[in-house]
Amino acid sequence: MESNSNAWKKLQKKLFDMVSIGVTGNRLNQGYDIVSTLMLIANIVNSFASTFENLQEQYHTLFYWVEAITVLFFAIDYILRVLTAELLYPGEDRPAAVRRYMTSGYGIIDLLSFLPYYLPAFFPAGASVFRMFRVIRIFRLFRINAYYDSLNVITNVIKGKKTQLLASIFIIVMLILASSLCMYSVEHAAQPDVFKNGFSGIWWATSTLLTVGYGDIYPVTVMGQLLGIVITFLGVGMVAIPTGILSAGFVEEYQKAKTLADVEAQNGIHFIEVVMRANDSWVGRRINELGMPHGSLIAIITRGSETIIPYGEVKILEGDKLIICADSAGEGMFENLTEIVLHEHHPWNGQMIKELDISRQTFIVLIVRGGKWDLPTGNYMLEEGDRLLIYSKERIDRYKYEPRF
Quick: pLDDT tens for 317-375. Answer: 888 888 887 655 444 444 456 677 887 777 788 888 877 766 555 667 778 777 666 76
Q: What is the rounded average pLDDT for all residues in the chain?
A: 76
- Stronger pLDDT, 51 or 262, i.e. the higher one: 51
pLDDT for residue 362:
67
The one-letter amino acid code at 340 reads I
Residue 300 has pLDDT above 60, yes or no: yes
pLDDT for residue 399:
36
pLDDT for residue 242:
83
pLDDT band at 397 (very low <50, low <70, confident <90, very high): very low
Residue 126 has pLDDT above 70, yes or no: no
Judged on CB neighbours under 10 Å (0-12, 13-18, 19+), 365 is buried
Q: Which domains does the chain have, with CATH numbers?
A: 2-147 (1.20.120), 162-249 (1.10.287.70), 268-328 (3.30.70.1450), 335-405 (3.30.70.1450)
pLDDT for residue 25:
56
Average pLDDT over residues 373-389: 77
Residue 210 and residue 310: Cα distance in Å, rounded? 48
Residue 404 has pLDDT above 80, yes or no: no
Residue 62 has pLDDT above 70, yes or no: yes
Average pLDDT over residues 169-189: 86
**% of the chain at pLDDT higher than 90:** 5
Residue 190 has pLDDT above 80, yes or no: yes
Residue 72 has pLDDT above 90, yes or no: yes
Q: Are 239 and 171 spatial neighbours (Cβ–Cβ below 8 Å)?
A: no
Judged on CB neighbours under 10 Å (0-12, 13-18, 19+), 21 is middle
Residue 274 has pLDDT above 90, yes or no: no
Sheet containing strand 387-392, edge to edge, reads 337-341, 387-392, 362-369, 372-374
Reduced to 3 states (helix: H, G, I; strand: E, B; else coil), residue 260 is helix
- Stronger pLDDT, 78 or 289, i.e. the higher one: 78
- Stronger pLDDT, 119 or 67, i.e. the higher one: 67
Residue 231 and residue 207: Cα distance in Å, rounded? 11
Reduced to 3 states (helix: H, G, I; strand: E, B; else coil), residue 187 is helix
Residue 69 has pLDDT above 90, yes or no: yes
Residue 405 has pLDDT above 50, yes or no: no
pTM surpassing 0.75?
A: no
* 3-state SS record for the chain: CHHHHHHHHHHHHHHHHHHCCCCCCCHHHHHHHHHHHHHHHHHHHHHHHCCCHHHHHHCHHHHHHHHHHHHHHHHHHHHHHHHCHHHHCCCCCHHHHHHHHHHCHHHHHHHHHHHHHHHHHCCHHHHHHHHHHHHHHHHHHHHHHHHCHHHHHHHHHHHHCHHHHHHHHHHHHHHHHHHHHHHHHHHCCCCCCCCCCHHHHHHHHHHHHCCCCCCCCCCCCHHHHHHHHHHHHHHHHHHHHHHHHHHHHHHHHHHHHHHHHHHHHHHCEEEEEEECCCCCCCCCCEHHHCCCCCCEEEEEEEECCEEECCCCCCECCCCCEEEEEEECCCCCCCCCEEEEECCCCCCCCCCEHHHCCCCCCEEEEEEEECCEEECCCCCCECCCCCEEEEEECCCHHHCCCCCCC
- Stronger pLDDT, 108 or 146, i.e. the higher one: 108
* Of 204-218, 252-266, 359-373, the least confident: 252-266
Judged on CB neighbours under 10 Å (0-12, 13-18, 19+), 124 is exposed
- Stronger pLDDT, 205 or 26, i.e. the higher one: 205
Average pLDDT over residues 11-35: 76
Residue 142 and residue 140: Cα distance in Å, rounded? 5
Q: Are 390 and 361 spatial neighbours (Cβ–Cβ below 8 Å)?
A: no
